Amino acid sequence: MKKITGFVIADILKNKIILIYTLVLAVFAWSVFSLEDNTAKGVLSLLNVILLTVPLVSIIFSNIYMYNSSEFIELLVSQPIQRKTIWLSLFTGLVVSMNLAFIIGVGIPVFIFVPDMTGLFIVITGMLITTIFISIAMLCSILSRDKARGIGIAIMTWLFLTLIYDGLVLFMMFQFSDYPIEKPMVIVTALNPIDLARIMVLLQVDVTALMGYTGAIFKHIFGTSFGLIISFGLMMLWIIIPFLISWKKFRNKDL
């Protein structure tokens, strides 16, 4: 398992896209903190950039990487190696290298400019988001043999979770604004990993006071340590469940 993971990591790190991704993240993070005097504002701008780009790059890169590895996978399956080892190694390799890019790009400037809990939260949620979208990408890649279709599914998933989902939530809010919908709203929001990550960081920055009654409810539920554990638990489920489904499918896949 270690050897194959090593091969995967070495292979990904040789890829120039990962290098560019790291550089772009670094440029964003350094410029955001250099331009803003107020670190809280800097954190919010950075958060928006991260929550848009990190999922997109993670899901597309991992998805294409999985399709390009089909020969590698086929070769390994004909050798005395457990399919479980192959699948886990690919996942670990992607997780390690994508998170490494994120830590170098975003982690270093964040720890320099915001060396407190907020900074730690940005990095941790960013890493969780990266891992979640790798897990989803692996699932998308095994749902279809056709590369174009697989990448299409991945893009649609990203689009749904970043844009469409929030649109639907807003629509629902306006439709049911006469009813006490704050609590159902919390549940609906918690089901989307990107919204969950946003709330986790926002609560640390303490701008929830500006968000009115809903903000207060969010603070009340997610601000406690219990709420925090639930949020982390939900993020972990977003990693584990897609991975387990993809692994189940891979175990019975004909190559």
Partner 1 sequence: MIELIHIKKNFGKTEVLKDISIQLAAGQCIGLIGPNACGKTTMIKSILSMVIPTSGEILFNGKNIIGDVAYKNHIGYMPQIGRYPENMSISQVINMIKNIRKYNGQIDDELWYAFGLDGVSDKKMRTLSGGTTQKVSATLAFLFNPDILILDEPTAGLDPLAAEVLRDKIIKERKKGKLILITSHLLNELDELLSHVIFMQEGEIVLYKTIGDLYTETGEVKISKAIGNLLKSTLK
Which residues here bind partner 1, judged by CB under 8 A? 3-4, 7, 11, 68-72, 74-82, 252-255
Residue number, 80 or 212, with CB nearest to partner 1: 80
Residue number, 177 or 252, with CB nearest to partner 1: 252
List the structure tokens of 138.
């692996």
**At closest approach, how far in Å is the CB of 7 from partner 1?**
6
Calculated CA dihedral for residues 76, 90, 12, 197, nearest 10 degrees:
170
Cα(88)–Cα(143) distance, integer angstroms: 17
Residue number, 68 or 175, with CB nearest to partner 1: 68
Q: Under a CB-based contact definition with an 8 Å cutoff, are residues 99 and 129 in contact?
A: no
**At closest approach, how far in Å is the CB of 170 from partner 1?**
42
**At closest approach, how far in Å is the CB of 240 from partner 1?**
22
Q: Under a CB-based contact definition with an 8 Å cutoff, are residues 238 and 137 in contact?
A: no
Question: DSSP code of 206?
Answer: T
Residue number, 61 or 113, with CB nearest to partner 1: 61
Q: Under a CB-based contact definition with an 8 Å cutoff, are residues 162 and 194 in contact?
A: yes
**At closest approach, how far in Å is the CB of 94 from partner 1?**
15
The separation between CA 31 and the C-alpha centre of its own chain, rounded to angstroms, equals 22
Residue number, 22 or 69, with CB nearest to partner 1: 69
Other CB atoms within a 10 A radius of the CB of residue 48 amount to 12
**At closest approach, how far in Å is the CB of 215 from partner 1?**
50
